[in-house]
Amino acid sequence: MSSGTSRILILDGAMGSMIRSRYPSYRGCNDELCLTKPELIASIHKSYLEAGADIIETCSFNSTPLSLAEYGLEGEARKISEAAAALARKTADEFYRPGGAGKALVAGSMGPTAKSGSIPSDVTRPASRAIGWDELESAFFENAAGLLAGGVDMFLIETIFDTLNAKAAIAALARLFSERGKTAPVMISATVNEGGRLLSGQGPLEFLASIEHAAPWSVGLNCSFGAEKLIGPTRLLAAAAPFRVHVYPNAGLPDSSGGYDATPASMAAALEPYFAEGLLNIAGGCCGSTPDHIAAIAECAAKYPGRAELPRPAAAAPFRAVFSAAELLSASINSADYEAAAELLSAAVEDAGADAVLIRIDEGDKMSAFIRTALFYPDLARLPLILESNNREAIEAGLKCIPAKAYVSAAALADKRDIAVQARRYGAEIFL
């Protein structure tokens, strides 16, 4: 696929909103309609294509076993995902685009699931989690395998509220590509609160650092609170990302009846500053965005060139001062008093003025329990963690818990073979 910097590509709107408007009596799983009402889903795809969409998303946002379990459909994840991809593929391939613009691209939608890998499920127990890395990765793998079989051009990991979930989805795709002997571009999209942060705490630049190992085709923001409130975080991404940048916000804010307050004209006007500043390569709409919204966005975007992609920056020394926590924490960790250990570390890091922490734990269960607990403390959660152990399984257990970019010290490992490959799988780097 070409870089697309000569013009802004248009991503389609909200499948869910269109299903509600065209099938108001339906109360089931939207994704299952790819099997039971394929003509409805195809007609919505076609409406967005007619409105000017260059990229259409598959109706598979909830097609992981985790999300489908709500409907008793967890065993159908791969089947529904494949059907969603095949349906979008067929509709896109059959659609005639005037002026030799070429066929539309199909993006396989991979929603975040409703479970968080890094946020405590019980605030009275900081180490508690509703789900672990392995279950998340397995769920995303089922979704992605079906989408690949159905013929998507690319994958869209979207509406990410927890960076750890995104990293698990990236790992699932990497495993799928390795097993199938093929690859595809990946778009990665976060949703943020009014302060510009993900629910798991990362700002746009921290999010970018955490997922850059995927070398995404594009990175950006979607959903959230409407276009007006996303321009600040998007400016940060556009100034730093050596990848395409996208945004597809909600059509304003929902009202009491579930409608959205941005008209096609007002939504296009809200996005125009993004286009005028050269922030975007791809634009579209999320919840509440109808084909009329997409048509208005496409018309406005056509007046402006796309953002010029940035070169990858040269690597810099990552930290000014690293605090080694091994001796400080050993007694508390050995007695499994992880909250006491986290409180000790929090105070020590503040006194030392460190901007990174080296954690040395040699047992996997203790490594993961301590890191999960430590992430409950904001002054620790903001610091990069460097993991060290004489046990590579302990290092891996820790990496499965860290939503932000992590680092690995191999100093204590007797066998250092492939440790960099292992670290890379979790988006981590070797710290020397």
Under the banding of pLDDT at 50, 70 and 90, the label for residue 4 is very low
Q: Domain spans of the chain?
A: 9-301, 322-430
| Section 36-40 average pLDDT | 98
- How distant, in Å, are the alpha carbons of 20, 157, 168, 328 from that of 173? 31, 10, 9, 39
Cβ neighbours, 10 Å, residue 151: 18
Under the banding of pLDDT at 50, 70 and 90, the label for residue 407 is very high
| Section 166-177 average pLDDT | 98
For residue range 99-148, what is the model confidence (pLDDT) as tens digits?
Answer: 656 789 999 999 999 999 999 999 999 999 999 999 999 999 999 999 99
Under the banding of pLDDT at 50, 70 and 90, the label for residue 348 is very high
For residue range 326-344, what is the model confidence (pLDDT) as tens digits?
Answer: 889 999 999 999 999 999 9
Fold topology of 322-430:
TIM Barrel (3.20.20)
pLDDT at 256 > cutoff 80? no
Give the single-character DSSP code of 123.
T
Sequence-separated (6 or more) residues with CB below 8 Å from residue 19: 26, 30, 33, 40, 44
Do the domains 322-430 and 9-301 match in fold? yes
The rounded distance, in Å, linking the Cα atoms of 273 and 271 is: 6
Record the pTM.
0.95
**Can you give the pLDDT at residue 2?**
45
The rounded distance, in Å, linking the Cα atoms of 41 and 29 is: 13
Sequence-separated (6 or more) residues with CB below 8 Å from residue 91: 42, 45, 46, 49, 56
The rounded distance, in Å, linking the Cα atoms of 285 and 298 is: 11
Cβ neighbours, 10 Å, residue 189: 25
Instruction: Classify 218 as helix, strand or coil.
Output: strand
**Can you give the pLDDT at residue 309?**
83
| Single-letter code of the amino acid located at 66 | L
CB–CB of 277/306 below 8 Å?
no
The rounded distance, in Å, linking the Cα atoms of 119 and 126 is: 8
**Can you give the pLDDT at residue 152?**
98
pLDDT at 232 > cutoff 70? yes
Homologous superfamily (CATH) for 9-301: Homocysteine-binding-like domain (3.20.20.330)
**Can you give the pLDDT at residue 320?**
85
pLDDT at 425 > cutoff 60? yes
